[in-house]
């Protein structure tokens, strides 16, 4: 298992962190699948110093 952190960002210019969640996953794909539970938010998924993925809310649904 690998250790990841999912950061919830505020979406503003300063990109402040609102919260984070620790994720244990077998690989990047599993960690990204777990991150989808937080759809609709600005997210960054990290494994140590490596950014794995970033997600933004789907604005077409607004």
Q: Which residues contact 18 (CB under 8 A, 6 or more apart)?
A: 8, 9, 10
Partners of residue 43 on adjacent β-strands: 8, 55
Q: For residue 11, what pLDDT is reported?
A: 82
Q: How far apart are the C-alpha atoms of 46 and 49, rounded to whole Å?
A: 7
Q: For residue 60, what pLDDT is reported?
A: 64
Q: What is the pTM of this model?
A: 0.85
**pLDDT tens readout for residues 7-62:** 999 988 787 999 999 999 999 999 999 999 988 899 999 999 999 999 998 766 55
């Amino acid at each position: 298992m690998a250790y990841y952190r999912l950061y919830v960002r505020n979406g503003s210019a300063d990109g402040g962190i609102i919260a984070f969640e620790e994720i244990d996953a077998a690989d990047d794909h599993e960690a990204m699948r777990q991150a989808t539970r937080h759809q609709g938010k600005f997210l960054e998924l990290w494994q140590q110093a490596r950014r794995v993925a970033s997600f933004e809310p789907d604005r077409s649904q607004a």
